[in-house]
């Protein structure tokens, strides 16, 4: 648990510059609803964190409201980040890159947990995902390729799917993962590889 005194209200998106690391030391970061967003399904919200190419975000608790979560622009490492109550979504890949989420958890999304808006490799390792519409959504109507890798994770209570895409070139590999109540599991995904789940 994070002590109330260790909660920081973010008035303006925290930008982690290219190649830099932001270590939150386990503190909780919440969005100022008047400036970033209230964590509803409104699409006009700003992220709490913006990660430039090669940035690392670690040891952060993102509390309620979480606004538009985390946006990545290029390669990124997101390590030991906990979303206590997902806002519009938890993390969005905004520009091409290799994005790795290692450890941490996210829960309680009204629709999407992770949103993929650019060609990418998206690795999710040792992560706990609970209660959302879908865990991963490639932006509707897009046909670029994204490669999803899920390993060593626990996924529960997705209404629709673990991954949904409209792209016939996108692919998912899932290994060593426990899951239950994940809807269709793979929604319109043509390329699926699974083992030891
Ligand atoms: O289609 O582009 O949900 O990045 C409408 C929009 C929508 C995005 C996405 C996101 O897909 O806003 O949050
Ligand atoms: Ca959205
Ligand atoms: Ca929520
Ligand atoms: Ca969003």
Question: Which ligand has an atom closest to residue 90 CA?
Answer: 4
The pTM of the full predicted model, rounded to 2 decimals, is: 0.97
The pLDDT, as a whole number, for residue 5 is 79
65 three-class SS: coil
What pLDDT sits at residue 143? 98
79 ligand 1 Cβ < 6 A: no
139 lines ligand 1 (CB under 6 A): yes
| CA distance linking residue 14 with residue 174, whole number of Å | 32
123 lines ligand 1 (CB under 6 A): no
Contacts of 5 by beta carbon, 8 Å cutoff, 6+ apart = none
* CA 32 from centre of chain: 20
Tokens 């386990």, residue located:
26
Q: What is the pLDDT of residues 127-167, one digit of tens each?
A: 999 999 999 999 999 999 999 999 999 999 999 999 999 99
Distance CA(31)–CA(71), nearest Å, equals 14
How much is the pLDDT for 1?
73
> Three-class SS of residue 90?
coil
**pLDDT under 70 in the chain at which residues?**
none
Closest approach atom of ligand 1 to CA 89:
13
Does the CB atom of residue 138 touch ligand 1 within 6 A?
no
């Amino acid at each position: 648990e994070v002590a109330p005194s260790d909660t920081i209200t973010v008035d303006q998106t925290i930008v982690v510059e290219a190649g830099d690391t932001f270590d939150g030391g386990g503190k909780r970061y919440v969005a100022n609803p008047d400036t970033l967003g209230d964590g509803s399904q409104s699409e006009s919200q700003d992220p709490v964190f913006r990660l430039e190419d090669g940035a690392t975000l670690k040891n952060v608790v993102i509390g309620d409201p979480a606004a538009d979560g985390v946006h990545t622009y290029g390669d990124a490492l997101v390590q030991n980040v906990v979303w206590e109550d997902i806002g519009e979504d938890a993390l969005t890949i905004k520009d091409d890159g290799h994005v790795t989420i290692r450890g941490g958890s996210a829960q309680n999304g009204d629709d999407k947990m992770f949103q993929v808006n650019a060609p990418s490799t998206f690795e999710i390792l040792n992560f706990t995902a609970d209660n959302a519409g879908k865990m991963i959504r490639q932006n509707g109507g897009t046909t670029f390729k994204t490669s999803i890798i899920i390993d060593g994770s626990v996924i529960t209570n997705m209404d629709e799917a673990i991954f949904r895409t409209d792209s016939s070139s996108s692919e998912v590999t899932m290994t060593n993962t426990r899951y239950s109540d994940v809807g269709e599991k793979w929604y319109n995904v043509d390329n699926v590889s699974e083992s030891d789940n």
